Amino acid sequence: MADNTEVHENSSSSTHQHVNKANQKVPFYKLFSFADRLDVTLMIIGTIAAMANGFANPLMTLLLGKVINAFGSSNQSEVLNQVSKVLINMLHYSCLVFIFSAINMHAYFLAIFASRD
């Protein structure tokens, strides 16, 4: 019985050591130590696309302000023309935001989440 207890205690301490190794913190610079050139390139492209995508809300607010100003203009005959111009700009801008969002997600999925060998 005593021998079984000793073996159990040893296996418990090795499991405890394994858990301690798993919970160790890694320095920031070692997070990317195994990233190759393609991974770094994809992460840079994804970061730039994320910044462009994050710029979407302030710019969309400015475009919406132009639409509101077009409705409030004193010349009622050109309201439709001005609103149409701004809405076409918003449509083009929305397409660009969609493209930047797709680039952002695909670049990060390829660089970080995909297991390329």
- Percent of the chain exceeding pLDDT 70 equals 75
| DSSP per-residue codes, the chain | -HHHHHHHHHHHHHHHHHHHHHT----HHHHTTT--HHHHHHHHHHHHHHHHHHTHHHHHHHHHHHHHHHHT-S-GGGHHHHHHHHHHHHHHHHHHHHHHHHHHHHHHIIIIIS---
- Domain spans, the chain: 37-117
Q: Is the pLDDT of residue 8 over 60?
A: no
Name the nearest CA neighbour of 113 among 51, 46, 53: 46
Q: Is the pLDDT of residue 2 over 70?
A: no
For the stretch 61-84, pLDDT in tens is 998 888 888 888 767 778 888 888
Length reported for the chain: 117
Structure pTM?
0.60
